[in-house]
């Protein structure tokens, strides 16, 4: 019993474990609300109408590809500034990333508004107003992501969790009110504007309370831009893989089949979203340690262990008791049952790959680029050839995710070996310092 208490005490005192527990718990609650949004719209609208909502939300994820890029940039520079205790630079990062985010959001929104008829036509959405709603949601989504990146870099995971929770709670409430008022798919999609807008206002209010002092070292737009290029490749590649299959399914399959596939994708994405919490905690910790030239593989290894444990649980549940997972959607989505186990596996593999992509981004390495871009091309090419059914498309997705995950694990293993060789060949006093850092 004393050993157990000692173990619990050590785990509670470990910042990585503590932050994972905080953000994981917050994300579970926020994720429940996010799934509540999909369950609500699917159950109230039915498979055919819900396919319009699902494809619109999937399209939004692609439209706001700059959002996770801006969050990654903000998180890295904010974590470095926090490590140096440069309060002024933290505020500078917030302002400059916010300016860039607003400019990107407006540019995308204007382009989407111009192309609204074509976008609606490709997604087979009869109501063009949905495309205009997505334009506004793009601006709100990119802005709130930038603020969340600063909170992540400061490792303020309680506040970050509450912000995500607020976003999803507003979405659910707005969707319920809109559908009850007869808004249909348009009303349901409008909720993706309200949530991010309210969350941005709350995060901006919190961050504006940062002390207004001069930065010890300026962060230039050039520095932000150079890092944003590598972040964009990583983040946009993963986001594309996360959403492209739903959009392509909506294009190739009948509305009812596309709705069944979309429902399975939504149910399995809980694995991905929970995995993002592990990645979000790992990123600023590794970036800070790497900036100080301290050992960081322990942080990555623990994060991979957490992610593997979560994946095993969800693959087992989705594969063995699919009826329980499908219960909230009702009998209209029973055809999704055979897809769930493979969906959970595919999303688990993508989550592990995403964690390692973020590891390389945190140490400013581009080793992930070739396998990630290759997987994007592979998935689209295979779906364009093999799309006879929802299950066949899912098989293609699983193959693409497995190839990417194996490539990323191999790159990470090679990085560990290379680092170990460098430390082994270093002078004795350097090895002593490295050993001290590793004990962290």
Summarised one tens digit per residue, pLDDT across range 124-148 is: 676 677 888 888 899 999 999 999 9
pLDDT at 406: 95
Answer whether 109's CB lies under 8 Å from 167's CB. no
- The pLDDT, as a whole number, for residue 142 is 93
Burial class (CB in 10 A: 0-12, 13-18, 19+), 173: middle
Distance (Å) of CA 298 to CA 184, 286, 440: 49, 9, 8
Percentage of residues in the chain with pLDDT exceeding 70?
90
Please report the pLDDT score of residue 255 as a whole number.
82
By the 8 A CB rule, do 66 and 111 touch? no
pLDDT of res. 427: 55
| pLDDT mean across residues, the chain | 83
Pick from 34-43, 249-258, 415-424: least confident: 415-424
Taking only the tens place, the pLDDT of each residue in 256-270 is 888 888 888 888 888
pLDDT for the residue 106: 93
Question: Would you place residue 395 in the very low, low, confident or very high pLDDT band (cuts 50, 70, 90)?
Answer: very high
d(CA 287, CA 76): 6
Sign of the alpha-carbon torsion through 436, 437, 438, 439: positive
Residue 163 has pLDDT above 90, yes or no: yes
Determine phi and psi for 281, rounding to 5 degrees.
-75, -40
| Arithmetic mean of pLDDT, 20-41 | 83
Report how far residue 330's alpha carbon sits from residue 129's, in angstroms, rounded to the nearest whole number.
Answer: 29
pLDDT in tens, 318-366: 888 888 887 777 777 788 888 888 989 999 999 999 999 999 998 888 8
Give CA–CA dist 152/146, Å, rounded: 10
pLDDT of residue 370: 93
Chain-centroid distance of CA 395 in Å reads 22
pLDDT of 212 higher than 90: no
User: What integer pLDDT is reported at residue 429 of this predicted model?
Assistant: 45
Provide the 8-state DSSP code for 327.
Answer: G
What does the pLDDT read at residue 420?
A: 73
- How much is the pLDDT for 215? 60
Cβ contact 261:253 at 8 Å:
yes
Percent of the chain with pLDDT over 90: 31
CA 188, 23, 139, 210 torsion-angle sign: positive
Tell me how many helices (H) and strands (E) the chain has.
16, 0
Assess whether pLDDT exceeds 80 at residue 218: no
Q: What is the pLDDT of residue 379?
A: 92
Report d(CA 54, CA 241) in Å as an integer.
16
Confidence of residue 211 (pLDDT cuts 50, 70, 90): low
Tokens standing for residue 150: 């600063």
Residue 407 has pLDDT above 90, yes or no: yes
What are φ and ψ of residue 375, in 5° steps? Answer: -70, -35
How far apart CA 385 and CA 393 sit, in angstroms, is: 9
Q: What is the DSSP letter of 247?
A: H
Q: Which two tokens stand for residue 357?
A: 């992509």
For residue 203, the model assigns a pLDDT of: 92
The whole-number average pLDDT for the span 304-308 is 91
pLDDT of residue 54: 80
Tell me the backbone φ, ψ of residue 161, rounded to 5 degrees: -65, -45
Residue 9 burial (CB < 10 Å; 0-12/13-18/19+)? exposed
Position 197 scores a pLDDT of 93
Mean pLDDT lowest among 46-55, 262-271, 282-291: 46-55
- pLDDT above 80 (res 26): yes
DSSP classification of residue 253? S
The residue with tokens 């969800």 is 314
> What's the pLDDT tens digit per position in 412-437?
999 888 877 766 665 544 444 444 34
């Amino acid at each position: 019993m004393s050993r157990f208490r000692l173990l619990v005490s050590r785990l509670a005192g470990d910042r990585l474990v503590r932050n994972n527990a905080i953000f994981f718990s917050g994300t579970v609650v926020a994720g429940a609300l996010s799934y509540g949004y999909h369950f609500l719209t699917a159950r109230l609208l039915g498979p055919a109408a819900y396919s319009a909502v699902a494809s619109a939300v999937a399209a939004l994820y692609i439209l706001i590809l700059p959002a996770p890029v801006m969050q990654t940039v903000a998180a890295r520079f904010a974590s470095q500034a926090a490590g140096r205790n440069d309060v002024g630079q933290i505020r500078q990062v917030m302002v400059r990333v916010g300016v860039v985010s607003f400019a990107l959001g407006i540019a995308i929104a204007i382009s989407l508004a111009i192309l609204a008829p074509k976008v609606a036509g490709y997604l087979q959405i009869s109501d063009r107003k949905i495309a205009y709603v997505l334009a506004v949601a793009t601006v709100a989504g990119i802005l709130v992501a930038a603020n969340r990146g600063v909170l992540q870099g400061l490792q303020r995971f309680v506040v970050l969790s509450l912000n995500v929770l607020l976003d999803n709670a507003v979405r659910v409430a707005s969707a319920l009110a809109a559908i009850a008022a007869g808004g249909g798919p348009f009303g349901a999609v409008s909720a993706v504007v309200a949530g991010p807008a309210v969350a941005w206002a709350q995060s901006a209010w919190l961050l504006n309370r940062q002390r207004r002092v001069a930065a010890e070292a300026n962060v230039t737009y050039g520095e932000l831009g150079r890092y944003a290029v590598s972040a964009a490749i990583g983040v946009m590649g993963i986001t594309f893989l996360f959403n492209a299959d739903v959009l392509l399914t909506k294009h190739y399959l009948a509305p009812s089949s596309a709705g069944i596939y979309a429902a399975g994708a939504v149910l399995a994405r809980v694995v991905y979203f929970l995995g993002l919490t592990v990645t979000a905690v790992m990123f600023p910790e590794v970036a800070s340690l790497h900036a100080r030239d301290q050992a960081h593989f322990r942080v990555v290894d623990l994060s991979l262990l957490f992610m593997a444990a979560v994946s095993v649980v969800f693959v087992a549940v989705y594969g063995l008791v699919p009826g329980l997972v499908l219960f909230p959607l009702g009998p209209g989505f029973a055809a999704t049952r055979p897809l769930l186990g493979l969906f959970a596996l595919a999303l688990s593999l993508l989550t592990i790959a995403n964690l390692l992509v973020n590891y390389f981004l945190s140490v400013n390495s581009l080793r992930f680029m070739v396998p990630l871009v290759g997987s994007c091309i592979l998935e689209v090419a295979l779906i364009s050839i093999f799309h006879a059914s929802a299950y066949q498309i899912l098989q293609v997705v699983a193959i693409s995710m497995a190839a990417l995950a194996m490539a990323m694990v191999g790159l990470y293993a090679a990085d560990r070996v290379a680092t170990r060789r460098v430390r082994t060949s270093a002078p004795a006093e350097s090895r002593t310092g490295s050993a001290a850092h590793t004990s962290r």
